[in-house]
């Protein structure tokens, strides 16, 4: 599976994790529209992206350019397409995502400048590919995903790198 395929699967899994999708016609759509995020994840400065190790020119908005109701997302990858970072923004409350049954290894972390921050993994991540840092950012909730396209050995965790990336991103995020 190529970078786009892996990124799409990872993105869809996060949207499922966070409860995206219609369950009844009209009602879920109205709720998602009221939860549209304010923050534009593609607004991260180039110097921050370069410090993380991703190429600003690889920016991809949404899922293959298709806007997801209640979400804004932006992703970048490195030159080898082996490492990428995705920022998911939603108007949904942080606790809705943090307490979702698909989130595992939910761990509070110290992220300077933030009152609350957590790392979490997903049950579906059987290849040990990614870790999300979850933070409140003004009226929005952000998931800062670090993803290793080829996965990591079971003895390693992608979360330390996700935390480092979140520290670099933090000054560029709303409060």
At residue 173's C-alpha, the angle toward residues 33 and 114, to 5°, is: 105
pLDDT in tens, 92-133: 999 999 999 999 999 999 999 999 999 999 999 999 999 999
CA 98/CA 77 separation, integer angstroms: 26
pLDDT in tens, 64-101: 889 999 999 999 999 999 999 999 999 999 999 999 99
Which residue carries 């560029």 as its tokens? 172
Kindly report the pTM of this predicted structure.
0.83
Residue 60 has pLDDT above 90, yes or no: yes
Question: Across the strands, what pairs with 134?
Answer: 118, 143
pLDDT in tens, 42-57: 999 999 999 999 999 9
Tell me if residue 63 falls in helix, strand or coil. strand
Question: CA dist 146 to 24, 28, 30, 75, Å?
Answer: 32, 29, 31, 10
pLDDT in tens, 144-161: 999 999 999 999 999 999
């Amino acid at each position: 599976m190529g970078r786009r395929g892996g990124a799409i699967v990872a993105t869809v899994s996060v949207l499922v994790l966070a409860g995206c999708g219609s369950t009844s016609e009209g009602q879920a759509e109205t709720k998602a529209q009221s939860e549209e995020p304010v923050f534009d994840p593609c607004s991260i400065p180039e110097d921050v992206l370069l410090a993380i190790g991703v190429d600003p020119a690889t920016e991809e908005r949404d899922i293959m350019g298709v806007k997801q109701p209640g979400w804004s997302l932006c992703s970048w990858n490195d030159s080898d397409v082996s490492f990428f970072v995705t920022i998911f923004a939603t108007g949904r409350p942080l606790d809705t995502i943090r307490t979702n049954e698909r989130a595992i290894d939910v761990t509070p972390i110290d992220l300077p400048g933030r009152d609350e921050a957590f790392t979490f993994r997903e049950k579906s991540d059987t290849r040990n590919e990614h870790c999300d840092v979850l933070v409140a950012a003004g009226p929005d909730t952000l998931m800062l995903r670090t993803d290793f396209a080829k996965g990591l050995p079971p003895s390693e965790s992608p979360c330390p790198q996700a935390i480092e990336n979140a520290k670099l991103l933090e000054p560029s995020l709303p409060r």
